[in-house]
Amino acid sequence: MNLHEYQGKELFNQYNLPVSKGIVIDDPENALKACRDIGGSKWVVKAQVHAGGRGKSGGVILVENPDDAREFAKKWLGKRLVTYQTDVNGQLVNSILIEECTDIASELYLSAVVDRASKKIVFIGSSEGGVNIEEVAANTPDKIIYESIDPLTGAQPFQARKIAKVLGLDPQQTKQFTPMLLNLMKLFVEKDLALLEINPLVITSGGKLHCLDAKINIDSNAIYRQPEIEEMHDSSQEDPRESEAAKNDLSYVSLDGNIGCMVNGAGLAMGTMDTIKFYGGNPANFLDVGGTATQERVAKAFKLILADPEVKVVLVNIFGGIVRCDLIAEGILAAIEEVGVEIPVVVRLEGNNAEIGSQILLESGVKIESKNDLAEAAKKAVELSK
Amino acid sequence: MSILINDDTRVLVQGFTGSQATLHSEQAIEYGTNIVGGVTPGKGGKTHLGKPVFDTVQEAVKNVDPNASLIFVPAPFCKDSILEAAESGIKLIICITEGVPTLDMLVVKKRVDELGITLIGPNCPGIITPGKGKMGIMPASIHIPGSIGIISRSGTLTYEAVKQTTDLGMGQSSCVGIGGDPIPGSSFIDILKMFEDDSQTQAIVMVGEIGGSAEEEAGEYIKNHVTKPVISYIAGQTAPAGKRMGHAGAIIAGGKGTASDKIKTLKDCGVHIAENLVDIGSKVAEVLGR
């Protein structure tokens, strides 16, 4: 789960990490008061969306007059911001962060991720900030440090000093950086982060370290124990069908094809999409009905697929391990009755109670193509999608 | 032989009295697996499915001497349950549960490695040695004893590979679902080693998917250390970047972890690739000249 920049900075604040004084508004009329309350004579105004590349797309400006902040808010609130990281529709702007302006002497990079290969949290630091870190890694690898944290001992001050060297910090800044790094680690662990990125981490003209941006991603598996984070969830930043699916505990990803897919198991769901493509068709979605699919959930999954107007045919592919195929068959029939399906449905049932499931479908009188063989089922779905 | 499960495997089930554990323990017992008891805190002293229930793993170890544990407890309690089994001296732990927080797994993985324990999962279908026993949630009926070793990050794709090999008359030595999480207890490499050393296994099917670099690392290992033919299928060729495809670990991040990169690396390492999901079985037959 992603957080907005202003939410990330709220967390930074809680962990004594230096961030700019800022105020979030969702009404342009509050812009003037926000600028006044922050004080100073220059402000940075930033559209809040779950995507990078905002600056290059006009989503961040520097203003010297509060009226300009209000105009910016008027222009963007309720609109969609398109950046190189979003799709063509962009992301809805429903809040704007106004911050005091920071005088920058230099820009650095700092992030932390769970590294799958080493099975550790790894801090990544670079003296080259404000740019794409992948490019720095490719072109000037000596300017990057990767520092792994032992999960049992946690981050140690010496590790902060090591990173500080590569960042090029002076002794005074290193003293400021050491508790910062330990606090970032504390934040990472206590809030179950999957990714934390400060790009850029800057040195101000006064020589102090300052977090100018905050990108945070939380481990979805851990949301149950992070009620404060759960409150921050902004479903407007997600595909509406994907958030509807999530509410029903279904795993769904929208794609741009026309063959709706309902599959049990994430791997088989991906494999089914690939098989459709292999036979010349295009999947409309990824959908895993899960291992404990009840009739109700299957019906909901069906409705979700049919809500996509592009879908011309639905391919149901179930390999019954935990989930019984007769249950799936009943779910399909219940959903068809409930929603009123007018497009063709191809069903492939295999595994646990597959024959009973196929029998239920056959005897229902509903027009369903039932295949035991996945290749045959996929080919049929592709044919019907043309 | 076969790997991980054999005639001496004595299984303890943690979270024994829950509905999923009950369903799958019943099936495992019916399949001939030697389940010696279970643990559900607060229900010690009872009998469930004809087996004794204990409050702690330690009591179970003292009374029924299990050497493997199968975990079905809910995700918030998995870290505790895995560590309980590990600290009680159980050397093979299978965790089926999906949704375990990643940071819990970082600590668990480090500790089980220190103790020299084999952890499979979480978020996995478990393991089966056809004809001998199963610790997991796979439908036993599709398996037959044979010489193909199967390793997979996905449950239902494991079943698909099993069914296809069975349909062509080639059975399985053992099947291991290592799970779809970013931090699995065992990697492809850990299981490849076991299959390479197992005299019953003649060929290995490795089913991978997008996300991370486990397949690439396995490819390097296969090139240098595996003499048996390896056939691989990689799911997610049509998956968009940046989206989590159901499994917590199945995500193309920063342009890394794509199916095409994995397939290319594996091919370069001498692994046989089944391009289409439905061709895994026939690819194995072709490679083995059957």
Task: Kindly indicate whether the ipTM for this predicted assembly is greater than 0.85, answering yes or no.
Answer: yes
Q: How many CB atoms lie within 10 A of CB B236?
A: 29
> With bands split at pLDDT 50, 70 and 90, how would you rate the model's confidence at A207?
very high
Report the SS3 class of residue A256.
Answer: coil
Supply the DSSP symbol for A127.
S
DSSP line for A315-377 = EEEEEESSS-HHHHHHHHHHHIIIII--S-EEEEEEETTHHHHHHHHHHT---EEEESSHHHH
What was the pLDDT predicted at A323?
Answer: 66
Range scoring the smallest mean pLDDT among A78-87, A176-185, B180-189, B219-228: A78-87
What was the pLDDT predicted at A382?
Answer: 97
Give the integer Cα–Cα distance in Å for A257 and A285.
7
Chain A residue closest in CA terms to B185:
A119
* Each residue's pLDDT tens digit, A17-26: 999 999 999 9
Q: Read off the amino acid at residue B147.
A: S
CB contact under 8 A, A222 and B102: yes
Name the more confident of A361 and B110.
B110
> With bands split at pLDDT 50, 70 and 90, how would you rate the model's confidence at B131?
very high
What was the pLDDT predicted at A241?
Answer: 85
The minimal CB distance from A266 to the residues B103, B109, B245 is found for B245
* Each residue's pLDDT tens digit, A99-138: 999 999 999 999 999 999 899 999 999 999 887 788 888 8
Report the SS3 class of residue B158.
Answer: helix
Q: Verify cis geometry, omega within 30 degrees of 0, for the bond prior to B122.
A: yes
Q: Which of A221, A348, A376 to mutate to probe the B interface, most B CBs <10 Å?
A: A221
Q: Show residues of chain A in contact with B209, CB under 8 Å.
A: 266-267, 270
Q: What angle do CA A5, A8, A12 make, to 5 degrees?
A: 130
Q: b/e map of A120-151 (b: 16 or more CB within 10 Å)?
A: bbbbbbbbbbbeebeebbeeeeebbbebebeb
Over 70: is that where the pLDDT of A321 sits? no
Over 70: is that where the pLDDT of B26 sits? yes
For residues B260-271, average pLDDT: 96
Give the integer Cα–Cα distance in Å for A312 and A366.
17
| Beta sheet of B230-235, edge-to-edge order | B133-136, B126-129, B172-177, B145-152, B203-209, B230-235, B272-273
Phi, psi of B118 (to 5 degrees): -95, 115
Q: Read off the amino acid at residue A378.
A: A
In the structure encoding, which two tokens stand for residue B94, read together?
């299978």
Percentage of chain B lying above the pLDDT 90 cut = 90
* Long-range contact pairs involving A342-346 (C-beta distance under 8 Å, separation at least 24): A343/A306, A343/A311, A343/A312, A343/A313, A343/A314, A344/A312, A344/A313, A344/A314, A344/A369, A344/A384, A345/A313, A345/A314, A345/A316, A345/A369, A346/A313, A346/A314, A346/A315, A346/A316, A346/A370, A346/A371, A346/A377, A346/A380, A346/A381, A346/A384
Q: Show residues of chain B in contact with A354, CB under 8 Å.
A: none
In the structure encoding, which two tokens stand for residue A233, read together?
């969830």
> Which among B24, B143, B247, B272 is annotated as catalytic?
B247
Give the integer Cα–Cα distance in Å for A63 and B224.
60
Q: Verify cis geometry, omega within 30 degrees of 0, for the bond prior to A227.
A: no
Give the integer Cα–Cα distance in Å for B25 and B128.
13
> With bands split at pLDDT 50, 70 and 90, how would you rate the model's confidence at A333?
confident
Q: Read off the amino acid at residue B220.
A: E
Please give the interface size between A and B, counted as residue pairs whose CB atoms are below 8 Å apart.
177
Q: Number of C-alpha atoms within 13 angstroms, CB side, residue B241?
A: 10
Over 70: is that where the pLDDT of A197 sits? yes
In the structure encoding, which two tokens stand for residue A44, read together?
């940075």
Report the predicted TM-score, pTM, of the whole model to 2 decimal places: 0.92
What was the pLDDT predicted at B247?
Answer: 82
CB contact under 8 A, B138 and A321: yes
Give the integer Cα–Cα distance in Å for A77 and A80.
8
Burial of A367 (0-12, 13-18, 19+ CB in 10 A): exposed
> With bands split at pLDDT 50, 70 and 90, how would you rate the model's confidence at B2?
confident
- Contact (Cβ atoms closer than 8 angstroms) between residue B195 and residue B231: no
What was the pLDDT predicted at B10?
Answer: 97
Phi, psi of A25 (to 5 degrees): -125, 150
The minimal CB distance from B235 to the residues A134, A267, A373 is found for A267
Adjacent-strand bridge partners of B12: B37, B69
Within 8 A by CB and 6+ apart from B117, the residues are: B86, B90, B91, B92, B93
Percentage of chain B lying above the pLDDT 70 cut = 100
Helix A325-335 × helix A295-306 angle, to 10°: 50
The minimal CB distance from B246 to the residues A277, A286, A351 is found for A286
* Each residue's pLDDT tens digit, A220-235: 999 999 999 999 999 8
Q: How many CB atoms lie within 10 A of CB A117?
A: 12
In the structure encoding, which two tokens stand for residue B268, read together?
């370069």
What was the pLDDT predicted at A292?
Answer: 60
Number of residues in chain B? 290
- Contact (Cβ atoms closer than 8 angstroms) between residue A198 and residue A213: yes
Give the integer Cα–Cα distance in Å for A61 and A172.
32
What was the pLDDT predicted at B272?
Answer: 98
CB contact under 8 A, B278 and A375: yes
Q: Show residues of chain B in contact with A286, CB under 8 Å.
A: 239, 243, 245-246
* Each residue's pLDDT tens digit, B65-119: 999 999 999 999 999 999 999 999 999 999 999 999 999 999 999 999 999 999 9
- CA A188, distance to chain mean position in Å, is 17
To the nearest whole number, what is the mean pLDDT of chain B?
Answer: 95
Supply the DSSP symbol for B239.
P
CB contact under 8 A, A273 and B238: yes
User: Is residue B247 flagged as an active site residue?
Assistant: yes
- Contact (Cβ atoms closer than 8 angstroms) between residue A268 and residue A217: no
Q: Nearest C-alpha of chain B: how many angstroms from A35?
A: 36
Residue bearing tokens 């105004």: A45
What was the pLDDT predicted at A201?
Answer: 97
CA torsion A145-A150-A153-A158 (nearest 10°) is -20
For residues A153-161, average pLDDT: 97
Q: How many CB atoms lie within 10 A of CB B88?
A: 18
Burial of B54 (0-12, 13-18, 19+ CB in 10 A): buried
